[in-house]
Amino acid sequence: MTSPAGAGRFAPSPSADLHIGNLRTAVLAWLFARSTGRRFLMRVEDLDDRTDTDVADRQLADLAALGVTWDGEVERQSAQRQRYDDVVDQLAADHQLFECYCSRKDIASAPRAPHAPEGAYPGTCRDLTAAQRAARRDATRRPPALRLRTAVTSYTVHDIVHGDYTGVVDDFVVRRGDGVPAYNLAVVVDDAASGIDQVVRGDDLLASSPRQAYLAHLLGYPQPVYAHVPLVLNADGARLAKRDGAVTLAEIGVTETLAMIADSLGYTARTLPEMLGEFDPLTLPRSPWIYRPG
């Protein structure tokens, strides 16, 4: 099956060198796209002030060393601020946003309706009057975040790995108080602008997909095909970290990294083109891969 107009992507955040779990997800995203005739795009998600250009360059070099190829130029979110501002302005003009003055502590301690999901925004600032907003602004003395005034509490997406998944959709942030576009907005806008119709990423992001799919629906964008793949964990069942030993490409080596990724997927292949010949999304492992260096 081919989809010549569509595309998959990998979108790392350049806050640290990619570890073998990130590299495995990148390989899977590449395999999903190439096996369906899609283009494969690379996006650097560098809106956060903790990101680093040198780290981004190393990430791209590591991916290229493994044989991950992409089409066109690398897109950097930091160069697309007007794109996000235009969408926020559109949502504001449609009365879809409201100002929020809550801190994380405020949200955590706010009373909730019975059975409200843990961590969901409790609606504190949703229906403030102009006078109440002014009072909150004077009290907090910080710019407000902008939240989406959602019309649903949940949304269902279909995922190749997980099937139908219904998750929480609360009044989530689309622009932070410091003016930076929020992840849930930027990723949706970028995917639509680039013609990305296949999103392959770690299953730690599965819970965010209903919010993103709902926003895409609200903006009139098509919903992409999702595939949230299991993470790579350490021997204790926790996310990989530097303390787990050799986890980056520079520490493991290209040949060994490719071999370990192939073995984790049950493949005999040792290069990406060879893995493409063995790739079948229906036979992908459904549980995390436990990484043990050496």
Q: Is 103 assigned to a binding site?
A: no
Q: Is 10 assigned to a binding site?
A: yes
Q: Is 45 assigned to a binding site?
A: yes
Q: Is 32 assigned to a binding site?
A: no
Query: Which residues touch 83 (CB under 8 Å, ≥6 apart)?
Result: 189, 190, 193
274: part of which helix (H) or strand (E)? helix 272-278
What is the rounded distance in angstroms from the CA atom of residue 133 to the CA atom of residue 137?
Answer: 6
Residues 128, 136 contacting (CB under 8 angstroms): yes
Q: Is 144 assigned to a binding site?
A: no
Count each helix (H run) and each strand (E run) in the chain, helices first: 10, 12
Per-residue tokens: 181: 């576009």
List, as one string, the DSSP characters of 70-139: -SSPPEEGGG-HHHHHHHHHHHHHTT-EEEE---HHHHHHS---TTPPTT----TTTT--HHHHHHHHHH
What is the rounded distance in angstroms from the CA atom of residue 45 to the CA atom of residue 191?
Answer: 12
Q: Is 267 assigned to a binding site?
A: no
Q: Is 105 assigned to a binding site?
A: no
Q: Is 40 assigned to a binding site?
A: no
What is the separation of C-alpha 202 from the centre of its chain, rounded to a whole number of angstroms? 8
Q: Is 226 assigned to a binding site?
A: no
Alpha carbon of 100 to those of 107, 171, 172: distances in Å? 11, 10, 10
Q: Is 270 assigned to a binding site?
A: no
What is the rounded distance in angstroms from the CA atom of residue 279 to the CA atom of residue 269?
Answer: 10
Q: Is 4 assigned to a binding site?
A: no
CB atoms within 10 A of CB 264: 18
Which residues sit in the known binding site for ATP?
A: 242
Which residues sit in the known binding site for Zn(2+)?
A: 100, 102, 121, 125
Which residues sit in the known binding site for L-glutamate?
A: 9-13, 45, 183, 201
Which residues sit in the known binding site?
A: 9-13, 45, 100, 102, 121, 125, 183, 201, 242
